[in-house]
Amino acid sequence: LLDLGYVAFWAIGAYCVAWLASGHFQQVTMHLGSGLPNTIPGIHLSIWMIFPIAAVVTAVFGVLLGAPTLRLRGDYL
């Protein structure tokens, strides 16, 4: 059988990185390790801070999806 479960976790991690690295949060100003001036609105994090955050978010989704999956039997596992 074709296993595409890992693709979902790659997508969750990539989406989380893109979401944290984007400038969609104009109402909040937070700069942590980005090297940008504080006058630019939005959340600006260093990429080395974004990767662990995305890994934790992906791990949480993995636990939430994996817990019920462990109860399955046969080809569904």
pTM: 0.73
- Whole-angstrom Cα distance, residue 77 to residue 43? 40
User: Quick one: pLDDT at residue 59?
Assistant: 95
Residue 68 has pLDDT above 70, yes or no: yes
> What six digits make up the tokens of 63?
């636990």
CB distance 43 to 28 below 8 Å: yes
Concatenated DSSP letters for 30-50?
A: EEES----TTS-EEEE-HHHH
Residue 58 has pLDDT above 90, yes or no: yes
Check residues 49 and 76 and name the one with the higher pLDDT: 49
The domain limits of the chain are: 5-68
In sequence order, which residues have a C-beta less than 8 Å from that of residue 50 and are 6 or more positions away? 17, 20, 21
Residue 45 has pLDDT above 90, yes or no: no
